[in-house]
Amino acid sequence: MRLWLGLLWAAALLLPWYGFEKLSWSAMTPLVGQVFAGKYWLTPMLVPPLLASTARPRWCVAAGVIGIGWMAFEGLAITHRGPGPTQPALGWGALAYATACLAIAAFGLARRGWMRGDVFVAGSLLLVVGTILLFVAIPVSTILLSALRDNDGHLALVEFWDKFSDKSIWGLSCLQSDKACGVAWNSLQLAIIVGVLSTLLGLALALIAQRTRFPFPGLLRMLSLLPVITPPFVIGLALILMFGRAGFISNFLYANFDIPRSRWLYGMAGVAIAQVLAFAPIAFLVLLGVLQSVAPSLEEAASTLRAGRWRIFRTVTWPLIRPGLANAFLIGFIESLADFGNPLMLAGNFNVLATDIFFAVVGAAHDQGRAAVLALVLLIFTMAAFVAQSRWVGRRNYTSVSGKGDSGMPARLPNVLHGVCLAVVLPWLVLTVVVYSIIMAGGFVTSIGRDNSFTWKYFLTAFGVEHGVGGWFLSGSAWSSFITTMELSVVAMPLTAVIGLLTAWLIGRQSFRGRGAFEFLTMMSFAVPGTVIGVSYILAFNVPPVELTGTATILVIAFVFRNMPVGVRAGLASLAQIDRSLDEASATLRARSFRTLRLVLAPILRPAIVAAMIYSFVRAITSVSAVIFLTTAQYNLATVYIVGRAEIGEHGIALVYSAVLIVVMALALVLIRALVGEQKIGRRSAMVIT
């Protein structure tokens, strides 16, 4: 408490109130100075430190509410439109001030009996809710607001309705004529196709992996890792090199069988293939888990009741995994809607929402209103799918996760089904292997398919190191974006893990009113497509009070809040493995919640923490959709750089760079797995008495 009070006073008296990454002299002035400098409307902000100094719970709550409330009010009231006071972007002082206000309010609330008097729980809850509101809920709702306004900022409901119901979004002319349909229908159609196909492929592979003796288990493990470490657009790039107009397979077919080169790849077909290749491994992972959790004893019971293999599959296995299939479909559906890289590479004239949003912002039209409307449509789709997933599928889970060993053998596949699965899976595996060979090798040949001579040319252009006047320097064109990416990903990594696991702990181990809503809020950010986050950050953080566009901070924030739900899920899953009696034992031994978290749960959760960190690192590196709106010349990122190279036809550099990223991430994964694997913790199973 004393610490936070000190911070509050320091924020008011000493720290620069305005100015964040770029500090100017006038912005350096702290709060008190700003008030004397004529910003009289900041005067109420001097009240909270005085209130909090009483250390009375009631006044502390008031201090927090007044501090944050007035900050939000005056910040949003000054609009810079027309005459009136102006303000620069809030800075370090304001950040410290807001944090201290939160902590002091938590102290006051806890002392008044909230969260059973536990200051730490109250504080973390306020902190997590506050940051999620600021960086997810508020930006996303600014989309709605700006969709409702015209480009001059006036409320325009009629215009909104016109824009929302526009023919370019909802038009159905493709049904009667050969004109293009609305972009919403395109996206929906693509998402359904990709969802269905990737679920079926994933199921076929999962059945093969779990129910038959597949000769290449290593291949399957690789395949399960690939979607994690592949930047999403790279598959599209490889497909262009194979099947595009100048692709080597197209050339081969033209030269040998006289099949004319065409642009068939650029459109729905190409995007669908690329997305299925990219997302089927995710469906595979989901369904493998589902299949593994079907208790073999159920199938054995069916076979002792005289059911044949086919009947067992139809009457026992299939009904049990049905909710898992729905889940896999919805994941594929959401991923397809949110995917940005592949449509950017391959869509051609086939417009989808994710890329149309981007072009509405950066294109010649520069129509933020349209971008907002499109983002709204996309958000409605993904939210609907997310709600369906969490409400409907989540409650129909029959698979048994008892934790008890079930020593039966899963039933074997019916022969016909086995054949069908193999027939589907083998071509897919072959295609995947070819695609990845192209990605890894394509950057080291002069021109893939035409001139397959080995070359360092592209690698050196991108990652050259030269000796010049001032000694060694990084001359390659990719270094700057590569280093920025690594730095920002490393910064985001612990933040993501901490906030994700803290949230998981609040959801999984604390009980408070509104926990369901809190859980929904955190998980919801999973369903917000990256493009929507990108647009919303531009709309929300482009002007003071919180002006972050163009900074490295906003990229880190985008990484953290895009990837946090992964940490939450990992944390919840691991917490469920730890018996609650450990928390309770710690509590009866006089330890408060923070001590329990630090000394008991955190050490046991270490593998989950490491996994969350790694995942956040890798996802930060591979993300494109959100950050493509937020990068600048100063802070360019690897993926954005690669997309740029690929768009202007420099495939060699794009491939080399992708290959380097994949190798870096694979190394990071292997390294961490090795480290986590050595963790020696008496598992819970060791505590069961024999």
Partner 1 sequence: MTPTVRFNAVSKHYGTTAAVDAVSFEIEKATLVTLLGPSGCGKTTTLRLIAGLEHATGGGIEIDGRDVTRLAASERDVSMVFQSYALFPHMNVLGNTSYGLRASGLNRARAEAAAREKLALVGLAGFEMRLPSELSGGQQQRVAVARAIVLEPKVLLFDEPLSNLDARLRRRVREEIRGLQQQLGLTVVYVTHDQEEALAVSDRIIVMKDGRIAQDGAPRALYERPASRFIADFIGNANLAETMVTRLDAERVEIVLAGVKLVVRDADAFVGPALLAIRPHAISWGDALPGTIAKAAYLGSHMEYEIAVPGLAEPLFAIIHDVTRPRPVGDQVRLGFDPAGLALVPRG
For partner 1, give the closer residue by CB, 118 or 166. Answer: 118
In the complex, what is the shortest distance from the CB of residue 576 to partner 1, in angstroms, rounded to a whole number?
Answer: 16
Would you tell me which residues interact with partner 1 (CB under 8 A)? 113, 116-118, 579, 581-582, 584-592, 595, 599-600, 603-604, 681-684, 686-687, 689-690
**What is the biggest distance separating any 2 CA atoms in the chain, rounded to whole angstroms?**
88
Residue 359 CB neighbour total at 10 angstroms? 17
For partner 1, give the closer residue by CB, 275 or 596. Answer: 596
For partner 1, give the closer residue by CB, 21 or 584. Answer: 584
Using omega within 30 degrees of 0 as the cis cutoff, is the peptide bond preceding 545 cis? Answer: yes
Q: Distance (Å, rounded) from C-alpha 57 to C-alpha 64? A: 11
Q: Is 149 helix (H, G, I), strand (E, B) or coil?
A: strand
Q: Is 544 helix (H, G, I), strand (E, B) or coil?
A: coil
Residue with token string 């000769």: 215
For partner 1, give the closer residue by CB, 509 or 569. Answer: 509
In the complex, what is the shortest distance from the CB of residue 592 to partner 1, in angstroms, rounded to a whole number?
Answer: 5
For partner 1, give the closer residue by CB, 69 or 603. Answer: 603
For partner 1, give the closer residue by CB, 115 or 628. Answer: 115
In the complex, what is the shortest distance from the CB of residue 515 to partner 1, in angstroms, rounded to a whole number?
Answer: 16
In the complex, what is the shortest distance from the CB of residue 609 to partner 1, in angstroms, rounded to a whole number?
Answer: 13
Q: Distance (Å, rounded) from C-alpha 287 to C-alpha 297? A: 19
Residue 80, phi-psi category: left (phi > 0), alpha (psi -120 to 50), beta (remainder):
left
Asked if 34 and 93 count as a contact pair (C-beta separation under 8 A), the reply is no
In the complex, what is the shortest distance from the CB of residue 687 to partner 1, in angstroms, rounded to a whole number?
Answer: 6
In the complex, what is the shortest distance from the CB of residue 124 to partner 1, in angstroms, rounded to a whole number?
Answer: 16
Rg of the chain taking only CA atoms, in angstroms:
27
In the complex, what is the shortest distance from the CB of residue 601 to partner 1, in angstroms, rounded to a whole number?
Answer: 10
In the complex, what is the shortest distance from the CB of residue 667 to partner 1, in angstroms, rounded to a whole number?
Answer: 28
For partner 1, give the closer residue by CB, 453 or 511. Answer: 511
Distance (Å) of CA 473 to CA 334, 467, 480, 482: 43, 6, 12, 15
For partner 1, give the closer residue by CB, 111 or 309. Answer: 111
For partner 1, give the closer residue by CB, 256 or 511. Answer: 511
H or E segment and range at residue 3: helix 2-13
DSSP per residue over 383-428, as a string? HHHHHIIIIIIHH--------S----PPPPPPHHHHHHHHHHHHHH
Quote the tokens at residue 259. Answer: 């099949």
Residue 154 CB neighbour total at 10 angstroms? 9
In the complex, what is the shortest distance from the CB of residue 24 to partner 1, in angstroms, rounded to a whole number?
Answer: 47
Outline where 578-605 has alpha helix (H): 580-588, 593-596, 602-604
Distance (Å) of CA 71 to CA 64, 101, 137, 183: 11, 11, 18, 40
